[in-house]
Structure 1
Amino acid sequence: MSEHTPIGLGHEATITTALTHSGNFHVDETLGYVVLHYALAPMGDLRARILGEGPEDCLKFFRSRDPERIQAADIVFDVGGIYDPPKGRYDHHMKDKPLREDGTPYSAAGLLWKDYGKAAVRNLVRTTVDDATITAIWQSIDKSLVVPIDQDDNGVAKMGKLSLADIVSACSPPWDTAELHGPEEAKRRETLGFANAAIAVASHLVNTVDRVRASLKATDRVLSAYKNAQDKRILLMETGMPTEKVIFEHDLPVIYVVSPTGSGQWNVKAVPPERGAFGQRISLPEAWGGLNGQDLAAVCGVADAVFAHPARFICGAASREGALAMAQQALKIDAELKSQQS
């Protein structure tokens, strides 16, 4: 993180001018603009500012390669040949380019995320969270989104098809736009394309921040439920939420997760042998597979049993107690089978 106070932060009444290059645009300068928007002027109109429309706010934004305009701007990124954060310069195209601790070269987005990312996250989170959570969200997005953009923009590793980089590139007008429509119309379409790309990137960032926030919340609840579990093989969750990520990241020996559904039913879901894999650490009993209602209840011994999937990775009951009993019964049946085989 930054050891200086980034330009514009802590001075909300001051108008800050930010600039990146004109011409072809990529995901790094698009995300860089979006980060500055949410860090410095989240109440402004992100798209209208690019198009020069709408009311002015505390962030002005330009796309230009004019040396005089570059010199005059408060924050310049992805152009200008200078990396000097205290002076608001965030280019990365120099011979001695700024590097992460592991040697990965930064993109303009990475450099701005380093200085302005936490402020952007703080303005994007819609619930009350502490500074540690803000930092955790910032770090998660840095790892999952910003580092891949750094790598893609610097030719280290491509993000791949249908990535955010591809979505941004698709907003650019085709190469022959000037040939078909003239230079002025080509310039207008380029600006419009950048505005459209910024909206797409902003939507992705907004959703990612909220999903990471929720993921951190889920981690706390899953670990708490595991700590309180009488049988560590059965994770009883009082609210439905993602659990698999936490189970594998913390190496929890959970076999079945019991949790409510939106319809009021309670399900038992078998944990896979590894994260994201098909199969189960322990499948539900073979005799249950594909049965429903009274047929299932007669076999499993749980009166309010509702269903058991033919693939035996999930089953359910009408009540919390019923689902918990199904999970316990499934473990008992598995133990008996293994005892018979040994």
Structure 2
Amino acid sequence: MTACTHSGTFHADDVFATALLKLHFDSGLVIRRSRDPEVIAAADIVFDVGGICDPKMLRFDHHMADFPRREDGRPFSSVGLIWEHYGTQILWKVMGLSPIKELQDIADQIDQEFILPIDLIDNGVTAPGATDVTVAVDLFNPNWTEASSDEDVDAAFFRAVDFARNMLLRIFAAKLAEYRAETEIHEAAMRTEDPRLIELPRSVPFRNAVHRLQLTELLYVVSPSGNKGNWGLTAVSVEPNSFVNRKDLPAAWAGLSDAQLQEVTGVDDAVFAHRSRFLAIAKSRAGALQLAETALSAA
């Protein structure tokens, strides 16, 4: 099996598309970098070059006047096209996922949170930030002060692909862990006597799960914090990635620690409250629950 993408300067879309294909096909895939029409025509899979978008033919370019778009009209880049075609298969193979709904849910989340932004930046719809992954990939290209041959650029491309592959694997693992956390969040919600508060027996990522499970009354989560035996009280945000809380912790706690926080809260083992009022820490489960009770009763 051979896949072809363009030679020369590379960007995040062709780099991450390559990494996805390598994850899917393992060592059975040979990557060619060329703009030679004969090389392109001979390849089994062609992406980000070639002037054709036809997934049935395994052609995934997006540079034509009649470029491919998502259902909402936003443009694809090569990585979005590859993910749409192979994403669930890659998750099934790499992560060992089998339930169809679980596969599709995770694939859709990865698409919206990671793949789509690369598509939009590559098509000039949005601009990257200074620390965006597209900027990181661009830095792998030899710059103008570095003498480089075609072989040097190709070598830099494959170093960027290795970087992309490792990042994708961590994204997959994080999303799987986040998805499986829903079970624990759901069970905690069923146990609680007060829908404004749930207690988790261990620290799991709960922010997305809370919103997917539509726990609209939930204000705070109590769970273990760190590896020192501490317990935390965390405010639930209005949206998964928002810094705005449904209900802030009391203003009098903001930025206090140890004796000062203990005096204000009345909790003997309170140790810290974040100045942004989304987190407070106590040394014990009982202390965290006491903090929660106080926060819930506060105006």
How high is the TM-score relative to the length of structure 1? Answer: 0.76
Cα deviation digits, residues 206-261 of structure 1 (max 9, x gap):
11111111121223322331232101122111111233344456353233321112
Shift in CA distance, 296/96, structure 1 to aligned 2, threshold 3 Å: closer
Note if contact 2:54-2:60 (Cα within 8 Å) is conserved in structure 1. Answer: yes
Q: Distance in 1 between matches of 2:82 and 2:93?
A: 16
What is the DSSP-based 3-state SS (H/G/I as helix, E as strand, rest coil) of the residue aligned with 1:258?
strand
Q: Give 1:64 shift.
A: 0.9
- The answer to whether residue 130 in structure 2 is matched with residue 161 in structure 1 is yes
Question: Pick from 18, 23, 33: which aligns with 1:63?
Answer: 33
The root-mean-square deviation of aligned C-alpha atoms, in Å, is 2.9
Q: CA deviation at 1:124?
A: 2.6
Within the candidate set 268, 285, 294, 1:320 is matched to 285
Of the three residues 12, 19, 33, the one matched with 2:4 is 19
User: Aligned partners of 1:270 and 1:291: how far apart in 2?
Assistant: 18
1:173 aligns with 2:142: yes
Aligned residue number for residue 185 of structure 2: 222
1:206 has 2:169 as partner: yes
- Structure 1 residue aligned with 2:222, among 253, 258, 261? 258
1:74 is matched with: 44
State the 1:291 CA deviation.
6.0
Rg (Cα) greater in structure: 1
Structure 1 residue aligned with 2:243: 277
1:218/1:86 Cα in 2 relative to 1: closer, same or farther (>3 Å)?
Answer: same
In structure 2, what is the Cα distance between the partners aligned to 1:219 and 1:230?
A: 19
Deviation at 1:199, TM superposition (A): 1.5
| Corresponding residue SS for 2:70 | coil
Aligned pair in 2 of structure 1 residues 273, 93: CA closer, same or farther (>3 Å)? closer
**Alpha-carbon separation, structure 2, partners of 1:285 and 1:155:** 43
**Equivalent pair of 1:29/1:78 in contact (CA under 8 Å):** yes
Cα deviations across residues 132-160 of structure 1 (Å, max 9, x unaligned)?
22211211111112111221222222233
Whole-Å Cα distance in 1 between the matches of residues 198 and 4 of structure 2? 51
Cα separation, partners in 2 of 1:143 and 1:316, compared to 1, 3 Å: closer
Letter in 1 for 2:57: K
Residue by residue over 1:51-103, the C-alpha shift from the partner in whole angstroms, topping out at 9 and shown as x without a partner, is xxxxxxx1111101112111111111111111222222111222222211111
How many residues align structurally? 295
Q: Which runs of 5+ in 1 are unaligned?
A: 1-15, 45-57
1:130 equivalenced with 2:93 (yes/no): no
User: Could you tell me how far apart the structure 2 residues matched to 1:21 and 1:289 are?
Assistant: 53
Matched, 1:86 2:71: no
Residue identity matched to 2:205: P
Q: Is 1:309 paired with 2:273?
A: yes
Please say which of residues 84-93 and 27-36 is displaced more in the overlay. 84-93
1:299, 1:96 → 2: CA distance? 63
TM-fit CA distance, 1:326: 3.6
TM-score by length of 2: 0.86
Equivalent position to 2:119, from 116, 136, 150: 150
Report the more deviating stretch, 92-101 or 240-249. Answer: 240-249
Q: Distance in 2 between matches of 1:287 and 1:149?
A: 40
Task: Choose which of 197, 210, 224 in structure 1 pairs with 2:160.
Answer: 197
Larger mean Cα displacement after TM superposition, 271-280 or 212-221: 271-280
Alignment partners' CA distance in 2, 1:100 and 1:280: 33
Q: CA 1:162–1:330 in 2, change beyond 3 Å: closer, same or farther?
A: closer
Q: State, as a whole percentage, how many aligned pairs show the same letter.
A: 33
Alpha-carbon contact 2:236-2:247 (below 8 Å) kept? yes
